[in-house]
Amino acid sequence: MDNKMENFKYNISEALELPKDIVLDLPKIIMVGNIQLNISNHKGIIEYTQEILRINSNIGVIKISGNNLKLKTILSEEIIVRGNIEGIQIIS
């Protein structure tokens, strides 16, 4: 049933040209070079060190690795991370 609903939402977003991240409740990740990462539509922080940041989302855990990672902004709808970002991985 969930899969049918997701397909329906996807088709509606396509037909009405609505943003899929909002309609399908997906995280939106914007990376600026390797120095900044903006993550919208997250579900909270799981782990935070200067080398690793793990963030919960509807598609799984988003793992960011790098050096000197710092949280610039933490809001209920967006997280902004700065530092030397070396990798992003989604663990479902």
* pLDDT recorded at residue 22: 66
Report the predicted TM-score, pTM, of the whole model to 2 decimal places. Answer: 0.79
Query: What is the residue range of 67's domain?
Result: 26-91
Q: What is the pLDDT of residues 18-38, one digit of tens each?
A: 677 666 678 999 999 999 999
Q: What is the arithmetic mean of pLDDT over 70-77?
A: 93
Q: Please report whether residue 45 resides in a domain.
A: yes
Q: Please report whether residue 1 resides in a domain.
A: no
Q: What is the arithmetic mean of pLDDT over 41-67?
A: 95
* pLDDT recorded at residue 17: 73
Q: Please report whether residue 19 resides in a domain.
A: no
Question: Do the Cβ atoms of 83 and 70 come closer than 8 Å?
Answer: yes
Q: Please report whether residue 13 resides in a domain.
A: no
75 has pLDDT over 70: yes
Using CA atoms, how far residue 88 sits from 15, 62, 75, in Å, is 31, 7, 20
CATH number reported for the structural domain that contains residue 55 in this entry: 2.60.40.2000
Question: What 3-state class would DSSP assign to 56?
Answer: strand
